Amino acid sequence: MKIGFRVAVAAVSVLLFAASGNMGFSQTTKTGVSQAHVSTAKTKPSTKPSPKAKTSRKQKAADEAKAKALAEARRPRICQTRNTQCSYGAGPVGDPCSCWSKFGAPDAGLTARP
């Protein structure tokens, strides 16, 4: 009895599925739209996000070194001369710089971290 019921339900579902596919097409032809006028929109292939590429130890080390260098380049620095110190923007240390001395003339020095 249970098997007969399952077979009947399966047969009805197949018939309903087949009828629903044909009914959609027959409705477009009943309204006067010819087969040539039915728009057939091409679907794009599914664009699944690609899995992330695995990074090696060397790549991770290179990324960390790059981030560290960028952070180092953004750190503030000062210009140290013989007599004075002044702020000198951001960047690497050891570059030549100049500050105005107390005597009113520029004084040369090197950049350093505060």
Q: Is the pTM of this model over 0.75?
A: no
* Segment 18-30 mean pLDDT: 54
Q: How far is CA 20 from its chain centroid?
A: 42
pLDDT at 5 over 90: no
Range from 48-52, 77-81, 88-92, 101-105 carrying the lowest mean pLDDT: 48-52
Q: How confident is the model at residue 16 (pLDDT cuts 50, 70, 90)?
A: low
Tokens of 90: 């951001």
Q: How far is CA 44 from its chain centroid?
A: 21
Per-residue confidence (pLDDT) for residue 109, from 0 to 100: 92
Strand partners, 2: none
Over residues 31-84, the pLDDT tens digits come to 555 555 555 555 566 677 777 777 788 999 999 999 998 888 888 899 999 888
Q: Residue 3: phi, psi to the nearest 5?
A: -65, -40
Per-residue confidence (pLDDT) for residue 42, from 0 to 100: 58
Q: How confident is the model at residue 8 (pLDDT cuts 50, 70, 90)?
A: confident
Please state, in angstroms and rounded to a whole number, the distance separating the CA atoms of residues 60 and 47.
28
Q: Residue 108: phi, psi to the nearest 5?
A: -85, 150
Amino acid at residue number 17: F
Q: β-pairing, 96-100 with 106-112? A: antiparallel
* Segment 22-27 mean pLDDT: 50
